[in-house]
């Protein structure tokens, strides 16, 4: 193979005249058309000076060209770096400069600010959106054949940024092998074939929507009903023509809130998969009662893609994330990395072809999270029962998951601490019926000016994406601390509600 990622995922579908994407306007993109489009975009990328190994940062709305750009990066050997469309210019500046991106591809509606971000970081800038834009326009006139650039399985294919407990985001480096191995394993395990039609309403800038949903459908050669975002009306309309869906728990709770969602609506479906955040056992049970389907829950993360899954054919146990994938080794370990006996709670550690290559330009951080024997320390707390089923019982890392998006309190606390009147701050996750949890900020009044919560909210709005912004604020005189002086977030959560 000259380029394992392209040759496994994309090349097999050249000339395949079956649907790949069903679009909201009723039109369809065939596999063959998608591959041709990727080749055109590969030429366009080269026109912008992109070469193998370059990072291509992409912040555009969900559209077929965004996916084709992923394929084009694979074909040119460039490293695909998708970014949440909710990120502010301030957040983007960090990602573009930290990654040393050669090109930033952005939404034309934000051209003014994004062009500035790109140029300040020494990157070129191009636009792309559903209606076209500079990169799409220059692709339109290109040939639909492109000489795939040779790459090796160990070459990097993608960077995904993940925030961290230190407040600084880290670029997780994923190799071709990381993506291929996991997609092949999942396709086989979940029995996806060309006959499948997957409801795809997830964003495509994260592991779930891109490296799980899309990669699996590419390997299988099936089709996706490609929806811009979660819309229960659209899901319910399309369900009778679909076979499967992947979503975060909010997808399932919102569907259950709709009385039209019932056995008849799901009669053609063979598989519902949930992940990215804990699915309540009660949701699993309610879903089965309503539809007769048992949701298949799996567990993964940006650095590892998927690690465990409930079985397709065997017992899907509510509240568990199932068994380690066939090619993934998993251990529940103590703080030193020694494996604990079954039934004891510890940190989940994993090893396998899915585990990433480290954090970009952060060798110390990589070393901190990786055991000498190759196990990656996930930071999740779990327990494995006698049958091997894993349950995630909590997080060793200080992290909030809101509607499937991770929020690291430290990033917000650093910003809040710098606000007028704030002596210090603590951000905690509080329960939220729709999103699972949302951030709440506790601010300590300092000696300076009186804290102005409205002004702080406005400052946070320009600093971080909306989903990260605290949903509520409390002003207090002091934070609860233990004898070591560490802020007791458990006490705060007890007081302000989880």
Q: Give residues in contact with ligand AMP (CB under 6 A).
A: 162, 207, 275-278, 297, 299-302, 321, 378, 380, 392, 395, 401, 406
Smaller CB separation from ligand AMP, 275 or 421: 275
**Considering CB distances under 5 to 8 angstroms, the limit depending on partner class, which of ligand AMP, ligand MLC, none binds residue 442?**
none
Smaller CB separation from ligand MLC, 234 or 357: 234
DSSP 180-194: HHHHHHHHHHTT--T
CA dist., res. 439 & res. 87, Å (int): 17
Say whether residue 404 binds ligand MLC (CB under 6 A). Answer: yes
Closest CA to 67 of 199, 225, 210: 210
Q: How far is the CB of 297 from ligand AMP (least distance, A)?
A: 5
Smaller CB separation from ligand AMP, 19 or 436: 436
H/E element, 282: helix 281-291
**Considering CB distances under 5 to 8 angstroms, the limit depending on partner class, which of ligand AMP, ligand MLC, none binds residue 402?**
ligand MLC
Closest CA to 300 of 443, 449, 200, 406: 406
Closest CA to 162 of 233, 214, 98: 98
**Considering CB distances under 5 to 8 angstroms, the limit depending on partner class, which of ligand MLC, ligand AMP, none binds residue 255?**
none
Closest CA to 109 of 89, 95, 124: 89
Which residue in 23, 417, 445, 467 binds ligand MLC (CB under 6 A)? 467
**24-46 in b/e burial notation, b at 16+ Cβ within 10 A?**
eeeeebbbbbbbbbbbbbbbbbb
Which residue in 275, 346, 382, 409 binds ligand MLC (CB under 6 A)? 275
Smaller CB separation from ligand AMP, 20 or 205: 205
Q: Are 264 and 258 in contact (CB under 8 A)?
A: no
Residues 6 or more apart whose CB falls under 8 angstroms from that of 28 comprise 19, 20, 21, 22
Closest CA to 359 of 407, 303, 397, 280: 303
Q: How far is the CB of 257 from ligand MLC (least distance, A)?
A: 12
Say whether residue 379 binds ligand MLC (CB under 6 A). Answer: no
Smaller CB separation from ligand AMP, 225 or 306: 306
Smaller CB separation from ligand MLC, 303 or 413: 303
Q: Which stretch binds ligand MLC (CB under 6 A): 91-99, 115-123, 202-210, 472-480?
A: 202-210
Q: How far is the CB of 378 from ligand MLC (least distance, A)?
A: 11
Smaller CB separation from ligand MLC, 275 or 353: 275
Smaller CB separation from ligand AMP, 297 or 413: 297
The two three-digit tokens of residue 489, written as one number:
């977030």
Q: Report the site for ligand MLC in 407-446 (rule: CB under 6 A).
A: 435
User: For ligand MLC, how many residues bind (rule: CB under 6 A)?
Assistant: 22
CA dist., res. 269 & res. 143, Å (int): 39
Smaller CB separation from ligand MLC, 329 or 457: 457
Q: How far is the CB of 276 from ligand AMP (least distance, A)?
A: 5
The pattern of x and - marking residues 215 through 254 that bind ligand MLC according to CB under 6 A reads --------------xx-----------------x-x----
Place of tokens 């007791």: 488
Smaller CB separation from ligand MLC, 250 or 354: 250
Say whether residue 208 binds ligand MLC (CB under 6 A). Answer: yes
**Considering CB distances under 5 to 8 angstroms, the limit depending on partner class, which of ligand MLC, ligand AMP, none binds residue 135?**
none
Parallel, antiparallel or unpaired: strands 28-30 and 55-59: unpaired
Q: Are 29 and 97 in contact (CB under 8 A)?
A: no
| HSE-CB of 51 using CA atoms within 13 angstroms | 1
Question: Interhelix angle for 111-120 vs 89-99, to 10°?
Answer: 30
Smaller CB separation from ligand MLC, 54 or 297: 297
CA dist., res. 232 & res. 249, Å (int): 13
Q: Which stretch binds ligand MLC (CB under 6 A): 49-57, 220-228, 330-338, 397-405?
A: 397-405
Say whether residue 203 binds ligand MLC (CB under 6 A). Answer: yes
Q: Is 346 helix (H, G, I), strand (E, B) or coil?
A: strand
Cα–Cα distances in Å, from 140 out to 37, 42, 133, 214? 8, 11, 10, 24
Phi, psi of 242 (to 5 degrees): -110, 165
Chain residue at closest Cβ approach to ligand MLC: 403
Say whether residue 202 binds ligand MLC (CB under 6 A). Answer: yes
Which residues are near ligand MLC by CB under 6 A?
202-203, 206-209, 229-230, 248, 250, 275-276, 300-302, 402-405, 435, 466-467
């Amino acid at each position: 193979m000259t380029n394992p990622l392209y040759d496994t995922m994309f090349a097999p579908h050249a000339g395949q005249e079956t649907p790949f994407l069903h679009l909201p306007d009723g039109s369809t993109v065939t596999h063959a058309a998608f591959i041709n489009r990727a080749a055109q975009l590969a030429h366009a990328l080269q026109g912008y000076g992109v070469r193998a190994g370059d990072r291509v940062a992409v912040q555009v709305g969900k559209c077929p060209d965004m996916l084709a750009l992923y394929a084009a990066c694979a074909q040119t050997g460039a490293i695909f770096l998708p970014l949440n469309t909710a990120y502010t210019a301030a957040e983007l500046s960090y990602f573009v400069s930290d990654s040393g991106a050669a090109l930033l591809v952005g939404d034309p509606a934000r051209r003014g600010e994004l062009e500035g971000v790109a140029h300040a970081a020494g990157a070129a800038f191009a636009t792309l959106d559903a209606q076209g834009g500079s990169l799409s326009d220059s692709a339109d006139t290109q040939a639909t054949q492109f000489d795939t650039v040779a790459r090796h399985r160990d070459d990097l294919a993608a960077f995904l940024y993940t925030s961290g407990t230190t407040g600084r985001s880290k670029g997780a480096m994923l190799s071709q092998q990381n993506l291929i191995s996991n997609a092949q394993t999942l396709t086989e395990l979940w029995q996806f074939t060309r006959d499948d039609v997957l409801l795809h309403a997830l964003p495509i800038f994260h592991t779930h929507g891109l490296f799980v949903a899309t990669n699996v459908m590419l390997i299988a050669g099936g089709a996706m009903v490609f929806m811009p975002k979660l819309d229960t009306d659209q899901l319910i309309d399309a369900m009778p023509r679909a076979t499967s869906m992947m979503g975060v728990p909010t997808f399932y709770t919102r569907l259950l809130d709709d009385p039209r969602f019932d056995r008849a609506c799901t009669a053609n479906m063979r598989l519902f998969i949930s992940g990215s955040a804990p699915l309540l056992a009660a949701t699993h049970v309610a879903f089965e009662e309503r539809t007769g389907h048992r949701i298949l829950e799996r567990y993964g993360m940006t650095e590892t893609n998927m690690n465990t899954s409930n079985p397709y054919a065997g017992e899907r146990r509510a509240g568990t994330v199932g068994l380690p994938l066939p090619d993934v080794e998993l251990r529940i370990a103590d703080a030193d990395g020694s494996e604990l006996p079954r039934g004891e709670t510890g940190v989940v550690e994993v090893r396998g072809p899915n585990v990433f290559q480290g954090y970009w330009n952060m060798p110390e951080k990589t070393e901190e999270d990786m055991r000498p024997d190759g196990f990656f320390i996930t930071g999740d707390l779990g327990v494995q029962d006698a049958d091997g089923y894993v349950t995630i019982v909590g997080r060793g890392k200080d992290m909030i998951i809101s509607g499937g998006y991770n929020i690291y309190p430290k990033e917000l606390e650093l910003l809040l601490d710098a606000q007028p009147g704030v002596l210090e701050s603590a951000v905690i996750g509080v329960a939220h019926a729709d999103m699972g949890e949302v951030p709440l900020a506790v601010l300590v009044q300092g000696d300076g000016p009186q804290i102005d919560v409205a002004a702080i909210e406005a400052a946070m709005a320009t600093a971080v994406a909306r989903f990260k912004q605290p949903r509520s604020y409390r002003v207090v005189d002091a934070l609860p601390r233990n004898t070591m002086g560490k802020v007791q977030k458990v006490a705060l959560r007890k007081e302000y509600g989880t």
